[in-house]
Amino acid sequence: MKAAVIVFPGSNCDRDLKVALTQSMGREPAMVWHGDSELPDTDLIAIPGGFSYGDYLRAGAMAANSPIMREVVRKAESGTPVVAICNGFQIATETGMLPGALLRNASQKFVCKDVDLLVISENERFVGGFQQSQVVRFPVAHHDGNFYADADTLDELEAEGQIAFKYVTPEGEITDEANPNGSLNNIAGIYNKAGNVLGLMPHPERLISEVLGGTDGKTFFDHLVNSIV
């Protein structure tokens, strides 16, 4: 299998994503510079976290207009799986690949910590490594992760099984206390309608070994790679 990681000026989780994908794939992903207008032949596109273009204007807004993103959107429309993490999720909403928007955290502060997440919808490709309703742990690290969508969109996401993860307590309860950023309905990650694009604020690539404090991220990438192969 082949994967491509998109690198923008200001991306800073690109190396972490490369390490995680390499661990699961047994080979390195292609690192694709934002100024390129063509993607290499790839089975998976990953958009990493960071501060693309310094978050100027709005987080993700400028990256969404870079040449490579037109190509990413085209591939996504033709069915290539895309995983967009943190700043990647922000970019994905700015391009319209995913609905909604990521606003400033309700606390107004940057937040970095492990969070518990409930696996909500069935999506064999992305979360088949977990049980439905399993609680998994990934870290968050963001200033703008407060998911917002209008009421109709929100209803549709819930009804169509497009919610990937929700922030929960370790026991799996959806509470305000478990919500690190004020996201509506505690939403941490969503799918597009076709189910081949996943955007999420938490960073699965940060918990990929015991020495880092957990392996739920490894399970995530191992399964993703296996399901694509």
Partner 1 sequence: MTEITKEIVAEHGLTEGEYEEVLKILGRAPNLTELGIFSVMWSEHCSYKSSKKWLKTLPTEAPWVICGPGENAGVIDIGDGQAAIFKMESHNHPSFIEPYQGAATGVGGIMRDVFTMGARPIANMNALRFGRPDHPKTGHLVAGVVSGIGGYGNCMGVPTVGGETNFHSSYDGNILVNAMTVGLADTDKIFYSAAAGIGNPVVYVGSKTGRDGIHGATMASAEFDDDSDEKRPTVQVGDPFTEKLLLEACLELMATDAIVAIQDMGAAGLTSSSFEMADKGGVGIEINLDLVPMREDGMTPYEIMLSESQERMLMVLKPGREEEARKIFHKWELDFSVIGKVTDTGRMVLTMNSEVAADLPVGPLADAAPEYDRPWVKTPLSPVIKPEDVAAPNDLGEVLLKLMGSSEIASRKWIWEQYDHMVMGDTIQRPGGDAAVVRVHGTSKALAITTDCTPRYCYADPAMGGAQAVAEAWRNITATGALPLAITDCMNFGNPQRPEIMGQFVGCIDGMRSACNALDFPVISGNVSLYNETNGTGIHPTPAIGGVGLLKDITQMTTLAFKAEGDIVLLLGNLTGEMGQSIYLREIEGREEGAPPRVDLAAERKHGDYLREMIGKGLVTAAHDLSDGGLAVALGEMAIAGKIGACINLETDLPLHAALFAEDQGCYVITVRPDDLEMVRGFALAEDILLQNIGTIGHTDLKIDGGLTISVDRLRAVHANWLPELMSRPGSE
CA 71 to CA 77: how far, in whole Å? Answer: 10
Phi and psi for 151 in degrees, rounded to 5? -60, -40
Which part of the chain contacts partner 1 (CB under 8 A), choosing from 74-82, 104-112, 118-126, 166-174?
Answer: 104-112
Q: Which of 34, 142, 143, 203 is catalytic?
A: 203
User: Any contact of residue 9 with partner 1 (CB under 8 A)?
Assistant: yes
> What is the smallest separation between the CB atom of 84 and partner 1, expressed in angstroms?
17
Radius of gyration of the chain (CA): 16
Q: Calculate the alpha carbon distances from 18 to 78, 121, 189, 208, 217 in Å.
A: 24, 27, 21, 12, 13
Nearest to 47 by CA among 91, 103, 110, 16: 91
Q: How many of the other CB atoms lie within 10 Å of CB of 30? A: 15
User: Any contact of residue 73 with partner 1 (CB under 8 A)?
Assistant: no
210 among known catalytic residues:
no
Strands 187-191 vs 197-200: parallel, antiparallel or unpaired: antiparallel
Of 151 and 211, nearer to partner 1 (C-beta) is: 211
User: Any contact of residue 141 with partner 1 (CB under 8 A)?
Assistant: yes
> What is the smallest separation between the CB atom of 63 and partner 1, expressed in angstroms?
12
203 among known catalytic residues:
yes
The residue from 3, 4, 5, 13 that contacts partner 1 (CB under 8 A) is 13
Tokens 């990650």 -> residue: 189
160 among known catalytic residues:
no
User: Any contact of residue 144 with partner 1 (CB under 8 A)?
Assistant: no
User: Any contact of residue 151 with partner 1 (CB under 8 A)?
Assistant: no
Of 24 and 123, nearer to partner 1 (C-beta) is: 24
Q: How many of the other CB atoms lie within 10 Å of CB of 178? A: 19
Which part of the chain contacts partner 1 (CB under 8 A), choosing from 10-18, 115-123, 124-132, 160-168?
Answer: 10-18
The residue from 100, 139, 199, 202 that contacts partner 1 (CB under 8 A) is 139
Does residue 154 sit in helix, strand or coil?
helix
> What is the smallest separation between the CB atom of 10 and partner 1, expressed in angstroms?
5
Cα torsion 149, 95, 228, 206: sign: negative
Chain contacts with partner 1 (rule: CB under 8 A):
9-10, 12-13, 15-16, 19-20, 49-51, 53-56, 108-113, 139, 141, 143, 203, 205-206, 208, 211-213
